[in-house]
Amino acid sequence: MDNEILLDVQHLTHFFPITKKIAVKAVDDLSFQLRRGEIFGLVGESGSGKSTVARCVMNLYRPQAGRILYKGIDTCDRRAFRKNRRMLQTTRQLIFQDSASSLNQRMRVCDIIAEPMRIQHITPPRGTHRAEAAFQMHYVGLDPSFLDRYPPELSGGQRQRVAIARALAMEPELLVADEPIASLDVSIQAQIVNLFKHLQQEHGFSFLFIAHDLAMVEFLCDRVGVMYHGRLLEVAPTEELFQHPLHPYTKSLLSAIPIPDPVRERARKLIPYEEEPGAPRGTLREVSPDHFVAE
């Protein structure tokens, strides 16, 4: 990992209008950086705006304010986006939460994996689209006999592997995964997270990993950001965050992790977190090297 910043999110803000006057602030003045080759975890409870961040980063939503710099290109700027469209569409890839709906059930697995190449008119490095799909499937641990199957014939874990293979077929530099393991059961979650770790070491892509499972984040990520109501409350290297959480919300979140030991689990106490109604909207401040807390 070097210190080159691949993705720089600056003051990102996104509202969802409910009526003309009321709007939901999904993401509110959020800033973070993602270095090249780093796994950055974004955690937070449901509705804290994690997925909105992912979709803004992937240009699926147009944020109301703020800038997203990818390799120094402002992707929210229409002109800059159009100029670098092909590069942006090939080097950034997205993995969804629910593989049942992110794969078209009327397409065969080999067509799904080869789809990005067909769209971008890239000649597959291994000859045919089919051979390339077989290679990518082997890479994510799937048997080539699945090539002619349809997604509903596969299990959840296998489907998610297909989705990963589709994303990796483009050799991305930035992989955004929006809760990729939330819809899987625990043993499959472990397999997929191990697969991510392995693939990241092989490919060296940067990885924005969104989850609400703290144990998985602790295992996989280099740095973690904690989100609450559309804001980042604490950003720190994983070990530092789990050892010395500073923000009360982070402490509360960490206290909610179940411990696989009945004695200690029974003694575990939840730390409740109440946001003070009049609390000022904190800005991130560096407390110790690389450890930022909202104050």
Partner 1 sequence: MKDDGFVIVGVRETPPPPAPRREPWYRGKPLFAGGVLGVIVLGCLLCGLFIPGDPSYMDLANASAAPGRAFLFGTDTMGRDIFSMIWYGGRVSLLIGVAGAAISTAVAVVLGAVSGCAPAWLDALLMRLTELFLSVPNLLLVVFLQAILGEASVLSISLVIGLTSWTSMAKVVRTEVRQLRSSEYVVAARSMGGGFFHILWRHLIPNFLSSIMFMVVMNVRSAIAAESTLSFMGIGLPLEVVTWGSMLSLSEKALLSGAWWIILVPGIFLVTTLLCLTSLGSYLRKAANRKERNL
Q: Nearer Cβ to partner 1, position 112 or 284?
A: 112
The answer to whether the CB of 42 falls within 8 A of the CB of 225 is: yes
Q: To the nearest whole angstrom, how small is the minimum distance from the Cβ of residue 101 to partner 1? A: 5
Is residue 78 at the binding interface for partner 1, with CB under 8 A as the rule? Answer: no
User: CA–CA separation, 253 vs 2, rounded Å?
Assistant: 30
Is residue 266 at the binding interface for partner 1, with CB under 8 A as the rule? Answer: no
Task: Let me know the angle formed at the C-alpha of 7 by 3 and 12, rounded to the nearest 5 degrees.
Answer: 135
User: CA–CA separation, 198 vs 220, rounded Å?
Assistant: 10
The answer to whether the CB of 222 falls within 8 A of the CB of 38 is: yes
Binders of partner 1: how many residues, by CB under 8 A? 24
Is residue 86 at the binding interface for partner 1, with CB under 8 A as the rule? Answer: yes
Q: Nearer Cβ to partner 1, position 59 or 200?
A: 59
Annotate each residue in 96-115 with x if it binds partner 1 (CB under 8 A) or - if it does not, as one string. Answer: x-x--xxxx-xx-------x
Is residue 85 at the binding interface for partner 1, with CB under 8 A as the rule? Answer: yes
Stretch that binds partner 1, among 7-15, 88-96, 205-213, 284-292 (CB under 8 A): 88-96
User: CA–CA separation, 261 vs 263, rounded Å?
Assistant: 6
Q: Which two tokens stand for residue 132?
A: 């390339």
Given candidates 58, 162, 181, 294, which one binds partner 1 under the rule CB under 8 A? 58
Q: What are phi and psi of 72, to 5 degrees?
A: 80, 0
Q: Residue holding tokens 């950034």? A: 92
User: CA–CA separation, 103 vs 115, rounded Å?
Assistant: 11
Instruction: Give all strands (DSSP E) within 114-214, no chain letters.
Output: 174-178, 206-210
Positions in 148-177 near partner 1 (CB under 8 A): 166, 170
- Per-residue burial over 109-143, b if 16 or more Cβ lie within 10 Å, else e, is bbbbbbbbbeeeebebeeeebbebbbbbbebbbbe
Q: To the nearest whole angstrom, how small is the minimum distance from the Cβ of residue 65 to partner 1? A: 21
Stretch that binds partner 1, among 13-21, 43-51, 52-60, 130-138 (CB under 8 A): 52-60
Stretch that binds partner 1, among 36-44, 54-62, 187-195, 283-291 (CB under 8 A): 54-62
Q: To the nearest whole angstrom, how small is the minimum distance from the Cβ of residue 28 to partner 1? A: 24
Q: To the nearest whole angstrom, how small is the minimum distance from the Cβ of residue 26 to partner 1? A: 17
User: CA–CA separation, 282 vs 245, rounded Å?
Assistant: 16
User: CA–CA separation, 35 vs 96, rounded Å?
Assistant: 22
Q: To the nearest whole angstrom, how small is the minimum distance from the Cβ of residue 94 to partner 1? A: 6
Cα 97 versus chain centre, distance: 10
Is residue 123 at the binding interface for partner 1, with CB under 8 A as the rule? Answer: no
Given candidates 59, 75, 91, 206, which one binds partner 1 under the rule CB under 8 A? 59
Residues that bind partner 1 (CB under 8 A): 58-60, 85-86, 89-90, 92-94, 96, 98, 101-104, 106-107, 115-116, 119-120, 166, 170
